[in-house]
Structure 1
Amino acid sequence: MQIIENSIVGTRSAVLRLTKRGGGPVIVVFPMLHVADPQFFRDVEARLRACDLLVVEGIQGESSALDGMTMTYRVLPADEESGLVEDDIPYGDLGVPFVAPDMSGEEFQEGFDELPWKTRAMLWAATPAVTIGRFFAGRRALLTPDIEVHDLPTRQEELRGEEWDRFFDLLLDRRDDRAVAAVAEVVRDRGDEELEVAVVYGAKHVPGILRGLYRLGYRVVGADWLMAVSARES
């Protein structure tokens, strides 16, 4: 199942609707790009206002490691001609309750500092090159097949070694588990209510979150697409 799709018209995000047998809250998963066309964020924002509860990604607090990694995409809107913006959805002002079960910056930094030194060195060495490359690519960086995300593991993920397992456990797995745990708590405590719960996380998190929701008995029953980055002339 495609989560982020790239085609001749641009890059699209699949909004996934999940239910479970016997009823309970409906879960709507929004796979996010952290940088996209402004209209994408307005479209997501409009849909979130119709939900009853939001489970939102977001590491709060200082982390030099996280700052370095996010620079690789934060550089894209630096060129105003790209037309791209960072996620500017005002989650606290939507009139919808939300929870943010993500790590703190301190937790993330501690986890990063515990990675093997070779892994950390490779990440620090790669960050400037990736950042510069994306700056010059502009919106084209988000209009290639490499941007696609599927619910099945990629060949690259299947071949990653033990050292990289620890990195991806920090970057994705632990944080995915927290999102799923937040949903599980809602299902447990409010399972008899007709709720629509939005899970708003970066697209790379969505395969892991879906696997967690499947374990809770949820299945995808519908999907529709939102244009994230249109293939206009850059």
Structure 2
Amino acid sequence: MQIIEHSIIGTRSAVVRLRRPGSELQFVLFPMLHVASPQFYAAVTERLRRCDVLVVEGVSGRSVLGWAVTLTYRVMPANKRSGLVVDNIPYRSLGVELINPDVTAAEFAQDWRAMPLRYRILLWCAVPFVAAAQFLGGRKTLLSPEVEVNDLPSARDELYADDEFTEHMERTLGGTRDERLLAALSELIRTRAAEPIDVAIVYGAGHAPAILRGLLDRHGYRPRTGEWLTVLEA
């Protein structure tokens, strides 16, 4: 199943509704990009207001590491010709119950330090070059096949599946964070499965495959319907 789709008309994100027999609680997965058109975030905001609970991504606290990681996409809207903005959804002001199960900056730093030093040095050295490339060509990147995400591994994913660097990156950026999220979703199912509520999962698209697998394997939730939202028009 495509989660982020690229085509000649632009880039789109699939909003996926998940259900399981015997449970009134439904999940609505919003695969997000940190940078997109203002219209995309407006469309997501409109739909979030209709939900009953929001489970939202976001590392809490500040750190130099967090600043550096987010710099690689925060520079994109600085190029005014791109027409892009950073996620500007006022999650805490939507009047909807909000849960943030993500890690703290200190916990993220701990996972970062578990990565071999040579890879950390490589990433620190890459930050200014990636930031410069994103400033100059961020819009082009969002309109390229590179942005696509699927629930099954792509040929490129399989090519790098056994790569040590890739494994460490996935563990640092996903790993603990995905487990925290799935634990929070499991608790909602345990305590509120009988309630007819919509629970929005608002996480980066890169987390979506793990979320879909986790909800299916652990609780039997399956995608039932979907809706495409345009992230950026070509």
Q: Provide TM-score, normalisation by structure 2.
A: 0.95
2:173 maps to a residue whose letter is L
State the match for 2:225 in structure 1: 222
How far residue 156 of structure 1 moved from its aligned partner, in angstroms, is 4.0
Q: SS at 2:123's partner residue?
A: helix
Q: Distance in 1 between matches of 2:162 and 2:89?
A: 34
Query: Aligned in 2, Cα 1:230/1:50: closer, same or farther, shift over 3 Å?
Result: same
* 1:59-208 alignment runs, 5 A limit: 59-158=59-158, 159-208=161-210
1:161 and 1:205 mapped to 2: Cα distance?
19
In the alignment, the residues of structure 2 paired with residue 163 and residue 133 of structure 1 have an alpha-carbon distance, to the nearest angstrom, of: 21
Task: Give the gaps of 5 or more residues in structure 2.
Answer: none
> Residue type of the partner of 1:230?
E
DSSP-derived class of the 1:199 partner: strand
2:211 aligns with one of 194, 206, 209: 209
User: Equivalents in 1 of 2:26, 2:165: separation in Å?
Assistant: 37
Query: What do the CA deviations read for 1:103-160 (whole angstroms, capped 9, x no partner)?
Result: 1011111221221011101211222221111111131121000000000123444334
Give the deviation of 1:194 after TM superposition. Answer: 0.4
Q: Is residue 173–residue 208 contact of structure 1 (8 Å, CA) maintained in 2?
A: no
SS of residue matched to 2:230? strand
Mapped to 2, the partners of 1:160 and 1:91 lie a distance apart of: 37
8 Å Cα contact 1:18/1:219 also seen in 2? yes
Structure 1 runs not aligned, ≥5 long? none
Q: Which runs of 4+ in 1 moved over 4 A?
A: none
Within 2, Cα distance between the matches of 1:67 and 1:106? 13
Letter in 2 for 1:103: V
CA distances 1:48-82 after superposition (whole Å, capped 9, x unpaired): 00000000000011232222121111110001221
Q: Name the amino acid aligned to 1:130.
A: V
Task: Determine the structure 1 residue equivalent to 2:17.
Answer: 17
- State the partner residue of 2:58: 58
Paired AA for residue 73 in structure 1: Y
TM norm structure 1: 0.95
Cα contact 1:17–1:223 (8 A) shared by 2: yes
Work out the CA distance in 2 between the residues paired with 1:174 and 1:160.
Answer: 20
8 Å CA contact retained: 1:54, 1:199: yes
SS of 2:101's equivalent in the other structure is: coil
Aligned length: 231
Shift of 1:220: 0.3
| 2:198 counterpart letter in structure 1 | E
More off after superposition, 148-157 vs 131-140: 148-157
Q: Deviations over 1:185-208 (max 9, x none)?
A: 111001111010000000001001
